[in-house]
Structure 1
Amino acid sequence: MFLSGVSRSVRLLLAHIHPAAATNQTARCLSQAASQPEPIADENEAVNPTFVNRNPRNLEQMALAVKDRGWKTVWPHREFYHRLVFSRTQHHVTAEVFSSSSPVPVLSCSTKEWAVKKELASTNCVAACQAVGEVLAHRCHQAGITRMVYKAIPWTYRSDAVQSFRAAIKNGGITLSEPRRKYVGT
């Protein structure tokens, strides 16, 4: 700031002494750089009071997002980020992944889909359950979901079809449990 003021006064002095030299100079030579305001240290340290998380799954992956606990008498429990639901009917096998915030499935796979159905001899056998598990694991990886809760109905847990479905999901790289929620600042 001080030097730019001095150089301006020197130019004005030279213009009075040599008026012909001052008129031959271009406007570029006489122009000054805009003065920059000095940065305030407190301004750089200030934190914006409103923060918008652009990645809502970020807190979920760090186990900091809120899990809806629901009521103790409700089964299955509501404390999850993603829940896997596996169902078998007389004709088809279906697996769906639900988010805690929506009753609509995030991902699903079924033997009703033509791409899965055409590769199978039967749509309700053990091989169909394994195929649905493999396809769902692949879709989960594409969506970025690697952990979810899966609680099988106790009386169907020991069947070969459910066991092959679980094995296919686990071999696909999906973890069938979620981390406990961390409480920060308590």
Structure 2
Amino acid sequence: MIWYESARCLSQAASKPEPKANENETVNPSFVNRNPRNLEQMALAVKDRGWKTSWPHQEFYHRLVFSRTQHHVTAEVFSSSSPVPVLSCSTKEWAIKKELASTNCVAACQAVGDVLAHRCQQAGITRMVYRAIPWTFRSDAVQAFRAAMKGGGITLSEPRRKYLY
């Protein structure tokens, strides 16, 4: 009995080893953002303002341009950094044209809106600026296009830019 108690008194807690800094675990002092749209989605990226007198305004990340001609309907999404459209959809495309009776009616505008909304969702673009020309805004075709885009999960406005102080 005495031997058991004396052994218990002599035991001590095991010492913890100190962690060693491994080369793979050190933090890199210079961080490079590999996702270029990360700041844009958090509304922290810089928006180019352009001139105040220019129309349409240049303050956007993505801009939606909808146009109708006598024969076709076209919708394009532009990025602020490129004059070339990022995404586009038109009744000139055979897959859309073969499903429509007419390529410039209200149903064609709705079909272009549905297809472009699906393409935007696949590309990860869910918010964009759309400013219709004021005298064409009330037409049934433009309203059908906007409704199709909103029905496809696209928000036709962008968040205001957040400023860090």
**Interval of TM-score (by shorter of Structure 1 and Structure 2):** 0.7 to 0.9
How far off is 1:172 after superposition? 0.4
Query: Identity percentage over the alignment?
Result: 86
Amino acid at match of 2:134: P
Unaligned runs of 5+ in 2: 1-18
How far off is 1:38 after superposition? 4.8
Structure 1 residue runs of 4+, over 6 Å off?
Answer: none
Q: Does 1:166 align with 2:121?
A: no
1:167-186 matches, within 5 Å, as 167-185=147-165
Q: Does 1:104 align with 2:66?
A: no
Equivalent residue number for residue 11 of structure 2 = none
* More helix per residue: 1
Q: Does 1:62 align with 2:62?
A: no
Find the partner of 1:144 among 124, 129, 139: 124
Find the partner of 1:77 among 22, 35, 57: 57
Q: How many residues align?
A: 145
CA distance in structure 1 between the partners assigned to 2:20 and 2:151 by the alignment? 59
CA distance in structure 1 between the partners assigned to 2:61 and 2:129 by the alignment? 8
Equivalent residue number for residue 132 of structure 1 = 112
- Please, what is the CA RMSD of the aligned residues? 1.7
Task: Flag the structure with more relative contact order, 1 or 2, with Cα contacts below 8 A and sequence separation at least 6.
Answer: 2
Equivalent residue number for residue 70 of structure 2 = 90
* TM-score between the two structures when normalised by the length of structure 2: 0.84
CA distance in structure 1 between the partners assigned to 2:63 and 2:110 by the alignment? 19
* TM-score between the two structures when normalised by the length of structure 1: 0.75
Secondary structure at the residue paired with 1:84? strand
